[in-house]
Amino acid sequence: MVEVKCDRLRDRLALSKVLSLAELDSLTTLIRYSACLVREPQSSVIGVTGPQGVGKSSLISAMIKELTQHGYRVAALLVDPSSPLSGGAILGNRIRMPYLPDEAFVRSVWAENERSIPLRAAVSIELLEAAGYDYIVVETPGAGQVNTDILRISDLVVVVLMPLVGDEVQVIKAGMMEIGDLYVVNKSDIPESELMYNYVKSLVKGKPVIKVSALYRTNLGELVSTVNRLLSTRRVSGDILRKRMERRRFIVEEALKELLETQLRSSLSKVSPSILVEKPNLIPEVISSLKASLVKRLSGGP
Ligand SMILES: Nc1nc2c(ncn2[C@@H]2O[C@H](COP(=O)(O)OP(=O)(O)OP(=O)(O)O)[C@@H](O)[C@H]2O)c(=O)[nH]1
Ligand SMILES: [Mg+2]
């Protein structure tokens, strides 16, 4: 096995290379860098989600600016369902981030349709934490059904909304109102934002709701201090450790699922179509022979 120097992860270029490897083969990269993973939580992982176009990326870039001004090292990971082909470098989210300070580390990671947190994103978070970032902000697409994976990998979930989001009822139906620890009504420069703010406040029963404008950078200080207050409460209560455990459970589970799925697909492709059509009575036999071959294949892998 190649010896890895964990200190290398602190170098941006080296870190980028390792994250590209994680993008291509997350399990192998996880195995190779497992000695570098932290024991004590080092980074605060903030999940940012919300409907399309509410300003998640803009808000993240404004938060990064605010946090780096306070001397923190910040990384952002933008989960992007658009395309695996551009390889994490030139995806849509990145270019919509104005005012990014040079020292911020921003990566896109692609996700298959409908996956909000693929294994490669969770492994990337581990590597960013090993690289010593104080904050790791993760943007996940909020389109379609709300995927609760974000709860499993974040220490804190920020749900971003905006005025005139259309059918507000749809937002509630999609489960957004349950998953947030903190709600942000972005685009407060739009006059209708007060209405949305009051509406969200009435729905989330006591959870913090903050009105900001990512574009004009208003109220970012209040947002960041609320995030920090919630994080420190969680640190004291032991919730952060529990969150960390959950994130790693997620990684183990997803790695096993990926292994199983790959093996299963290749075994299934060998089943003769004629059996399925002409001899359905043999289906139970097909299942047990596939089960046996799966066990055999899996016992040979990593
Ligand atoms: N007026 C106003 N526009 C904003 C504000 N924040 C973001 N926008 C605009 O809203 C649009 C969407 O912003 P993004 O940051 O890309 O939103 P997003 O939620 O990341 O979008 P997706 O990743 O596609 O879901 C852009 O045209 C932004 O310029 C704001 O505070 N006020
Ligand atoms: Mg975005």
| pLDDT number for residue 90 | 44
Q: How many CB atoms lie within 10 A of CB 34?
A: 11
Return all residues near 55 (Cβ < 8 A) that are at least 6 apart.
160, 162, 186, 187, 214, 215
- Is residue 227 within 8 A of residue 154, CB to CB? The reply is no
| Rounded distance from Cα 241 to ligand 2 centre (Å) | 29
Burial class (CB in 10 A: 0-12, 13-18, 19+), 126: buried
| Rounded distance from Cα 138 to ligand 1 centre (Å) | 16
C-beta of 251 in contact with ligand 1 (< 6 A): no
Return the structure tokens found at 207.
């959870």
Model confidence over 67-103: pLDDT tens digits?
999 999 999 999 987 655 544 444 455 556 767 888 8
Atom 32, ligand 1: residue with shortest CA distance: 187
- Is residue 82 within 8 A of residue 108, CB to CB? The reply is no
* 235 shares its domain with 254: no
Element (H, E) at 31: helix 26-32
Task: Provide the domain count of the chain.
Answer: 2
Ligand nearest to the CA of 58: 1
- Is residue 102 within 8 A of residue 9, CB to CB? The reply is no
Cα(171)–Cα(162) distance, integer angstroms: 11
* 42 shares its domain with 123: yes
* 171 shares its domain with 22: yes
156 - beta bridge partners?
46
Among residues 221, 240, 259, the one where a domain terminates is: 240
* 15 shares its domain with 138: yes
110 - beta bridge partners?
80
Return all residues near 119 (Cβ < 8 A) that are at least 6 apart.
26, 27, 251, 254, 255, 258
C-beta of 263 in contact with ligand 1 (< 6 A): no
Ligand 1 pocket test target in 65, 78, 96 with most atoms within 8 Å of CB: 96
Model confidence over 103-121: pLDDT tens digits?
889 998 888 766 678 999 9
* 44 shares its domain with 105: yes
Per-residue pLDDT for 45 more than 70? yes
**Percentage with pLDDT > 90 across the chain:** 59
Model confidence over 242-294: pLDDT tens digits?
999 999 999 999 999 988 988 888 888 888 888 888 998 999 999 999 999 88
- The answer to the question of residue 11 being in a domain is yes
- The answer to the question of residue 170 being in a domain is yes
* 64 shares its domain with 160: yes
* 276 shares its domain with 164: no
- The answer to the question of residue 245 being in a domain is no
Would you give the distance in Å from CA 43 to the centre of its chain? 14
| Rounded distance from Cα 7 to ligand 1 centre (Å) | 36
Q: Which domain holds residue 215?
A: 6-240
| Rounded distance from Cα 135 to ligand 2 centre (Å) | 18
Among residues 240, 261, 277, the one where a domain terminates is: 240
Among residues 222, 240, 258, the one where a domain terminates is: 240
- The answer to the question of residue 125 being in a domain is yes
Q: In the β-sheet with 105-110, what is the strand arrangement from edge to edge? A: 105-110, 74-80, 135-139, 44-49, 156-161, 182-185, 209-211
| pLDDT number for residue 151 | 92
Phi, psi for residue 181 in degrees, rounded to 5: -95, -20
Would you give the distance in Å from CA 61 to the centre of its chain? 16
| pLDDT number for residue 147 | 72
- The CATH number for 103's domain is 3.40.50.300
Atom 26, ligand 1: residue with shortest CA distance: 55
* 236 shares its domain with 265: no
C-beta of 58 in contact with ligand 1 (< 6 A): yes
* 109 shares its domain with 195: yes
Cα(296)–Cα(286) distance, integer angstroms: 15
C-beta of 232 in contact with ligand 1 (< 6 A): no
* 296 shares its domain with 189: no
Long-range contacts of 8-11 (CB under 8 A, 24+ apart): 9/33, 9/36, 9/127, 9/130, 9/131, 9/132, 10/131, 10/132
* 163 shares its domain with 270: no
The single residue listed with the structure tokens 């300070």 is 101
* 235 shares its domain with 210: yes
